[in-house]
Amino acid sequence: MWQLNPEYRKERALLIGIVLFFLWGIPLGLFLYVFIDMPSFRTLEDPTPELASVVYSADGKIIGTFYLNSDRVRVPANAIPSVVKNALIAVEDRRFYEHSGIDPLGIVGAIFSILSGRTRGGSTITQQLARNLYDAVGVERSISRKLKEMIVAIFLEYHYSKEEILAMYLNTVPFGGVTYGIQAASRFYFGKDVQQLTLSEAALLIGLLKGPTYYSPYKHPKRALARRNLVLDLMVEAGFITAEEARIARRQPLGVGSAPHTASQSQGLAPYFREYLRGWLTEWARGRGYDLYRDGLQIYTSIDSRLQMHAESAVVAHLRAFQKVFEKELSSRPLPWKKDTSILWRAMLRSERYNVAKSAGVPEKEIYKQFHQPVRMHLFSWNPPGYIDTILTPWDSLAYYLRFLEAGLVTIDPHTGEIKAWVGGINHTYFKYDHVIQAKRQVGSTFKPFVYTAAMDNGYSPCYEELNVPVEIPVRVDGRDTVWSPRNADREIGGKVQLRKALALSLNIVTARLMKALGPQVVVEYARRMGIQSELEAVYALGLGVCDLSVLELTSAYGCFPALGIWREPIFIREIRDRRGNLIESFTSTSRRALSEKTAYLMVDMLRWVTIAGTAGELRWRYGLTDLDIGGKTGTTQNHADGWFVGFTPELVTGVWVGTADRAVHFYSLVNGQGARMAMPIWALYMKAAYSDTSLKLPRRRIPFPPGIKLPDCQSPSEEDKQEETKIEEYLR
């Protein structure tokens, strides 16, 4: 049998091996090389870049984001306007809708550009998305990276629609700093949601993608303008807009403000609420295995952005003007901290600077020394631009800030328990302390409705006449027996007064007599039933509001009146979803019946009297709220340190507090230092704006009579009271 020469067999085997190597080995090796560090198919099917958690208002507005490394917000494809998508396609990939992830014509064009000495990218939008989504694809200039990019691009085109790819791209690209995605960029540069972008604004943002720093409208406005106009020209070339539309858009200014809109968590709508929410969500997320700053949670709150805006505007409008009144009165006498240096010491102990140094282990003497060393600082000012740039010792800055009137405001829907607006202070950048929930201040006469509620529920009538004559009540204070005998604010006494008028005029003597008849413990029990959780000492002076309460709990308790006796736990979140929109948890308010419908409605009517013929009568004739069904109560504390007003309409209950950081710094007279001057105007301005806002569609209705209940017909003996009754009857009609 014929056999091959052994040497020849070896050569043939070697030749076959070489051929097989080139046919299979090299491709296999290249395949393995390319697929080393490739994203897994599971990752490709479920790309999960780091996403900021987004906070939504009840009316669908984004009011904040929580993020660690990047402010990256995901919005659905249908939320991105076509003007943005068209600008992107015109600049990056005009054949986007014609290819399947890889554009051969684009690659050929890129090759010819390179051969001619010009650098031009041949990557499609889908290929660029592959790089943005998956770190394993890489960004280095190499054949392996390009192959990985193409493979991922083909996978994306197979699994997602063109619109979804555009949305994923626009949700992941960087726009400078920690701002990622078109929504975050829209908020950062223009202070608006992506749906509201104009043609000019969309062109500016897409133009930034070439180099967010180089084309920054803040650092290089001329470059940014030229780049924006180039994008408009490219859109004309691509047929997305007409030459006339481009001409009009070129005439528009850049549109950005003097500073980014989301440069600080202290800026934007509802900063005090967002800070409280952040702390609450951090604990909530930790207990459920989520990362608030990376997992892209979608938090749907109960805050209404329109009410929040009106509330913040009312606080600013009143206190910017009223601060001048306070300054004038404060300067009429020696400044409080000049007479009592402990005021400044208390302010230092409350300050962030002190607490940071203390936490770092700095000795007390060294901290005090640091407080007396001049440093450059920005101080808050009501005058434009909103701050004062100066050199001052921190000790002197304490005195500067002590003279500012601060505020706390919260609005609750009494029928759902949802918090609709939350204003914790006058400026979160400079005043971090939240006066809605952190602070507890003496409430003064705003506590009196609890006393009258207990009276109405225990057989009294609004028509009941009580002596307006001082009463002496034996009490024990600090271990010794004494007598408590309060006086009215106006010092007037004598005769009998119907309870509805006594509450309207906030008569201390009548309230003290009711406290004596009912007993302090009974009043405490009613306050507890209505939602007051803070410590309440069962003493007779409680009826005049010597207790310290937060704005939130006091306002929540007042909600029992327009809700006809139902107390609802305040809530601020409706639901939380994951980044894909899957529901994680929903929230509803718990409730209980605190009062009978009859008692609640009697109090509604008595508190109406306060706003018609009582301490809050200016609400109607000064602020024009004549067509609203409103009730409420003013409150002023000892030495005029705190001014309050808590009021309600059929739809909303709102509490307002105004005062300084230290109770020792206050108005000297009741003329301006009362709740009707300090706090009530904020409520009035706020309600007038809210009920005039047609987008809110707040009805102008009355709180309905409970079935089978009739208001008592009080026969007033005096001509003055008869005139007041006539005003009430006219109002009710």
The mean pLDDT value for 548-558 works out to: 98
Domain span at residue 4 reads 1-34
Please check whether residue 720 lies inside any domain of the structure. Answer: yes
CA–CA distance, 581 with 564 (Å, rounded to integer): 37
pLDDT tens digits along 204-215: 999 999 999 999
Please check whether residue 523 lies inside any domain of the structure. Answer: yes
Does residue 313 carry a catalytic annotation? no
* Residues 516, 372 share a domain: no
* Residues 80, 24 share a domain: no
User: Residue with structure tokens 């889908």?
Assistant: 126
Pairing of strands 298-301, 573-577: antiparallel
* Residue 658: band (very low, low, confident or very high) from pLDDT cuts 50, 70, 90: very high
How confident is the model at residue 595, as a pLDDT? Answer: 97
* Residues 612, 547 share a domain: yes
* Residues 678, 549 share a domain: yes
* Residues 90, 2 share a domain: no
pLDDT tens digits along 255-287: 887 666 654 677 889 999 999 999 999 999 988
How confident is the model at residue 32, as a pLDDT? Answer: 47
- C-alpha 642, offset from chain centre: 25
* Residues 131, 221 share a domain: yes
What predicted TM-score, i.e. pTM, was given to this entire model?
Answer: 0.83
* Residue 192: band (very low, low, confident or very high) from pLDDT cuts 50, 70, 90: confident
DSSP 498-553: EHHHHHHTT-HHHHHHHHHHH-HHHHHHHHHHTT--S----SGGGGGT-SEE-HHH
The mean pLDDT value for 367-371 works out to: 94
Active site residue: 92, 149, 466, 553, which one?
92
Q: Which of 135-139, 180-184, 444-448, 463-467 has the lowest mean pLDDT?
A: 135-139
CA–CA distance, 654 with 555 (Å, rounded to integer): 6
Rg (CA), the chain: 34
In the numeric block, which tokens belong to residue 483? 């007598």
How confident is the model at residue 152, as a pLDDT? Answer: 77
Please check whether residue 47 lies inside any domain of the structure. Answer: no
- Name 112's Cβ contacts closer than 8 Å, sequence gap at least 6: none
pLDDT tens digits along 69-93: 777 788 888 989 999 999 999 999 8
Q: What is the CATH number of the domain that holds 619?
A: 3.40.710.10
Q: Is the pLDDT of residue 109 over 90?
A: no
CA–CA distance, 373 with 702 (Å, rounded to integer): 60
Q: With beta carbons less than 8 A apart as the criterion, state whether 667 and 326 touch.
A: yes
How confident is the model at residue 119, as a pLDDT? Answer: 47
**How crowded is the C-beta side of 214, counted as CA atoms within 13 Å?**
8
Does residue 445 carry a catalytic annotation? yes
The mean pLDDT value for 51-62 works out to: 92
* Residues 244, 144 share a domain: yes
Q: Which amino acid is at 59?
A: D
* Residue 44: band (very low, low, confident or very high) from pLDDT cuts 50, 70, 90: low
* Residues 182, 79 share a domain: yes
Phi first, then psi, for residue 551 (nearest 5°) are: -60, -40
What total of structural domains would you count in the chain? 4
Please check whether residue 556 lies inside any domain of the structure. Answer: yes
| Helix (H), strand (E) at residue 114 | helix 104-115
Q: Is the pLDDT of residue 141 over 80?
A: no
Q: Is the pLDDT of residue 465 over 60?
A: yes
pLDDT tens digits along 557-583: 999 999 999 999 999 999 999 988 999
- Name 320's Cβ contacts closer than 8 Å, sequence gap at least 6: 382
Length of the chain in residues, anyone? 733
* Residues 290, 239 share a domain: no
* Residues 332, 258 share a domain: no
* Residues 340, 219 share a domain: no
How confident is the model at residue 513, as a pLDDT? Answer: 96
| Helix (H), strand (E) at residue 163 | helix 162-172
* Residues 624, 517 share a domain: yes
Of residues 477 and 276, the one with the higher pLDDT is: 276
DSSP 387-452: EEEEEE-HHHHHHHHHT--EEEEEEE-TTT-BEEEEE-SS-TTT----TTTT--EE-GGGGHHHHH
Active site residue: 186, 445, 506, 556, which one?
445
How confident is the model at residue 268, as a pLDDT? Answer: 85
* Residue 1: band (very low, low, confident or very high) from pLDDT cuts 50, 70, 90: very low
- Name 411's Cβ contacts closer than 8 Å, sequence gap at least 6: 307, 311, 419, 420, 421, 422, 555, 652, 653, 654
